């Protein structure tokens, strides 16, 4: 029998505020003036929807993906306060991997990505699916929307290697992937130092202490970075301390917790109690022992009289944390936000327990303003070389190539595009080395973008309907040794550049409607008369 109530609480109570939205007429496929990209997935037409709570404008998603279809959630899950972005979804019944591409980013900078999934029985099957989510070429999370009216909101902090990032949904055979909303927010590089080029942070919990209303969510504009701070309410255990004064961030603050979050804190109702919080490890299929990063935010909100001391220690799974000065006692500053965290993940455990205990010299009980818990994911899979990506994307768009051409062309290896061969190397970008898009119904001229695939050795465009001449720029491809143009409707003659390349080391295969001529050359052999090559 418990003798008294221990101030212990789960971190993961679910709290959701829904907001109605208005509509403005504007489509946006690029970051807005504050660098945000907000997408209402499945929203048809060109009109944006504006969220009532944040006043942020959500663009329809057609400009960000070329696959899937728009669906409405079932009427029984439509409530008057439901945010407009949850009314419809985009679902991806075809293809193993389908992606959104978010452009106009800055390569090497840090971004917060948030993907939201509210099933709402849009397909009438009453069976929420389970599928995988990728940030670029790296696995982000499994999506498991366990109930039709549940909202799964997944957030990651990642450094993007290119000036775009793709968010991909992967069908794992447990239902059709879908998505309700997708958001990208830029972060200063100095924030969340635990997120870098080789590791990302996946949000586990971000809780604000102090609100007494479970729908009192803080995000943009109170948090200029639009992190979502869910309240953790337990009025039976905790008293609220609050202020209307602004809580400042110190120079070079590593997290910049917003003032609105820091303006409230909780303290034990019984002044001799300590604060105890815990969470249980949630193993993921890919990460059976997730590495957790814990960040605690404090600001003293009372101007203490000179005879009062508020001092506490932080103990996490039996380890008492030390400050950078080596002390275990913490006295948070008045109206400045202060954070305690480690750069390395906590030692793996089934349960993580955090004690915030008054020290013997403290005359006042401990408090806490906010907490964040992340798990670490590796982001070491290299994306394809960005100029190869731009070139092959342009080729895909020009010819409307169907196949499975979605996401990164080469990575991860299991999802590489059909017809492409890539080179993979540790710690360098994948390159496209061979392309076979024969028998693919390509028409129009030969795209000049082929000439930008600088690592290509083998290019097979045979058995299509290509017209026009062979671009001389292809001769600039340093590694090209085989060019197969058999069975097209090309015209013109082989340019001097290509001719030289053929004489050097390249084989070219070409046929004509009336007089098929095959010219096939092996590396550096005797030259053929140029008349034979003229088209």
Q: Which residues contact 211 (CB under 8 A, 6 or more apart)?
A: 231, 233, 264
State the nearest-atom distance from the C-beta of 343 to ligand NAG, in Å.
5
State the nearest-atom distance from the C-beta of 359 to ligand NAG, in Å.
5
State the nearest-atom distance from the C-beta of 259 to ligand NAG, in Å.
29
Please say which residue, 51 or 273, places its beta carbon nearer to ligand NAG: 273
State the nearest-atom distance from the C-beta of 216 to ligand NAG, in Å.
26
Which residues, in sequence order, are bridge partners of residue 151?
118
Residues 265 and 292 sit within 8 Å (Cβ to Cβ): no
CA distance 321 to 236: 28
State the nearest-atom distance from the C-beta of 391 to ligand NAG, in Å.
19
Please say which residue, 391 or 435, places its beta carbon nearer to ligand NAG: 435
Residues 40 and 70 sit within 8 Å (Cβ to Cβ): no
State the nearest-atom distance from the C-beta of 418 to ligand NAG, in Å.
8
How are beta strands 458-460 and 428-436 bridged, if at all?
Answer: parallel
What DSSP line would sit under 463-489, residue for residue?
Answer: SSEEEEPPPGGGGG-TT--EEE--SSE
Please say which residue, 246 or 286, places its beta carbon nearer to ligand NAG: 286
State the nearest-atom distance from the C-beta of 502 to ligand NAG, in Å.
20
Please say which residue, 358 or 470, places its beta carbon nearer to ligand NAG: 358
Binding positions for ligand NAG, rule: CB under 6 A? 4, 70-72, 130, 142, 144, 146, 196-199, 270, 272-274, 276, 313, 315, 320, 329, 343, 355, 357-361, 436, 438-439, 441, 443, 460, 465
Please say which residue, 299 or 488, places its beta carbon nearer to ligand NAG: 488
Alpha-carbon separation of residue 443 from 392, 400, 449, 453, 472 (angstroms): 16, 10, 15, 20, 19
Please say which residue, 25 or 360, places its beta carbon nearer to ligand NAG: 360
How are beta strands 238-242 and 264-268 bridged, if at all?
Answer: antiparallel
State the nearest-atom distance from the C-beta of 80 to ligand NAG, in Å.
15
- 435 alpha carbon, distance to own chain's centre: 29
Q: Which residues contact 248 (CB under 8 A, 6 or more apart)?
A: 259, 335, 336, 337
Classify 24 in phi/psi space as left (phi over 0), alpha (psi -120 to 50) or beta.
beta
Q: Give the residue at shortest CB distance from ligand NAG.
A: 357
CA distance 30 to 41: 15
State the nearest-atom distance from the C-beta of 270 to ligand NAG, in Å.
3
User: Quick one: three-class SS letters along 399-429?
Assistant: HCCCCCCCCCCCCCHHHCCCCEEEEEECCEE
Q: Tell me how many degrees the CA angle 373-377-378 measures, rounded to the nearest 5.
A: 150
Please say which residue, 201 or 218, places its beta carbon nearer to ligand NAG: 201
Alpha-carbon separation of residue 388 from 130, 255, 395, 449 (angstroms): 32, 36, 11, 9
Residues 96 and 176 sit within 8 Å (Cβ to Cβ): no
State the nearest-atom distance from the C-beta of 439 to ligand NAG, in Å.
5
Please say which residue, 146 or 515, places its beta carbon nearer to ligand NAG: 146
- 388 alpha carbon, distance to own chain's centre: 21
Please say which residue, 273 or 338, places its beta carbon nearer to ligand NAG: 273
Please say which residue, 328 or 476, places its beta carbon nearer to ligand NAG: 328
**In the numeric block, which tokens belong to residue 293?**
């990063």
Q: Which residues contact 446 (CB under 8 A, 6 or more apart)?
A: 461, 466, 468, 469, 470, 471, 474, 490
Please say which residue, 180 or 199, places its beta carbon nearer to ligand NAG: 199
State the nearest-atom distance from the C-beta of 224 to ligand NAG, in Å.
25
């Amino acid at each position: 029998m418990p003798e008294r109530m221990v101030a212990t609480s789960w971190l993961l109570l679910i709290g959701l505020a829904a907001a109605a939205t208005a509509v403005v007429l504007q489509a946006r496929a690029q970051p807005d003036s504050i660098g945000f990209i907000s997408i209402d997935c499945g929203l048809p037409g060109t009109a944006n929807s504006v969220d009532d709570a944040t006043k942020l404008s959500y663009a329809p998603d057609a400009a960000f993906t070329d696959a899937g279809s728009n669906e409405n959630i079932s009427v029984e899950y439509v409530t008057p306060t439901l945010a407009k972005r949850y009314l419809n979804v985009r679902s991806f019944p075809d293809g193993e991997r389908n992606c959104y591409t978010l452009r106009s980013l800055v390569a090497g900078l840090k971004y917060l990505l948030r993907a939201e999934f509210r099933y709402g029985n849009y397909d009438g099957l009453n069976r929420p699916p389970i599928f995988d989510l990728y940030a670029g070429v790296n696995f982000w999370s499994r999506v498991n929307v366990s109930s039709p009216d549940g909202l799964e909101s997944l957030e990651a902090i990642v450094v993007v290697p290119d000036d775009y990032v793709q968010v991909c949904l992967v069908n794992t055979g447990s239902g059709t992937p879908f998505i309700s909303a997708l958001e990208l927010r830029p972060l200063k590089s100095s924030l969340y130092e635990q997120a870098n080029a080789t590791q990302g942070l996946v949000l586990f919990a971000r809780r604000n202490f102090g609100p007494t209303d479970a729908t009192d969510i803080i995000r943009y504009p109170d948090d200029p970075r639009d992190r979502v701070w869910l309240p953790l309410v337990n009025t039976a255990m905790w008293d609220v301390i609050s202020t209307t004064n602004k809580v400042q961030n110190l120079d070079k603050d590593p997290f910049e917790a917003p003032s609105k979050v820091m303006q409230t804190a909780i303290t034990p109702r019984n002044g001799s109690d300590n604060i105890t919080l815990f969470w249980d490890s949630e193993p993921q299929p890919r990460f059976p022992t997730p590495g957790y990063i814990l960040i605690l935010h404090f600001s003293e909100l009372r101007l203490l009289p000179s005879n009062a001391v508020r001092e506490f220690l932080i103990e996490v799974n039996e380890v008492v944390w030390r400050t950078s000065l080596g002390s275990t006692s913490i006295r948070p500053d008045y109206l400045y936000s202060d954070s305690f965290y480690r750069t390395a993940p906590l030692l793996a455990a089934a349960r993580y327990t955090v004690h915030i205990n008054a020290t013997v010299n403290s005359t006042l009980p401990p408090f806490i303003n906010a907490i964040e818990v992340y798990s670490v994911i590796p982001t070491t899979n290299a994306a394809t070389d960005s100029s190869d990506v731009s070139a092959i994307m342009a080729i895909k768009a020009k010819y409307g190539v169907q196949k499975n051409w979605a996401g990164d062309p080469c990575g991860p290896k299991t999802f590489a595009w059909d017809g492409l061969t890539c080179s993979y190397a540790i710690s360098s970008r994948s390159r496209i080395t061979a392309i076979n898009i024969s028998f693919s119904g390509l028409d129009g001229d030969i795209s000049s973008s082929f000439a930008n695939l600088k690592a290509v050795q083998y290019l097979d465009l045979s058995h299509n309907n290509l017209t026009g001449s062979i671009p001389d720029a292809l001769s600039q491809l340093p590694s090209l040794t085989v060019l197969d143009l058999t069975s097209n409707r090309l015209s013109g003659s082989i340019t001097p550049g290509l001719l030289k390349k053929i004489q050097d080391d390249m084989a070219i295969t070409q046929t004509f409607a009336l007089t098929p001529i095959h010219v096939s050359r092996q590396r550096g052999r005797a030259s053929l008369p140029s008349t034979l090559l003229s088209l």
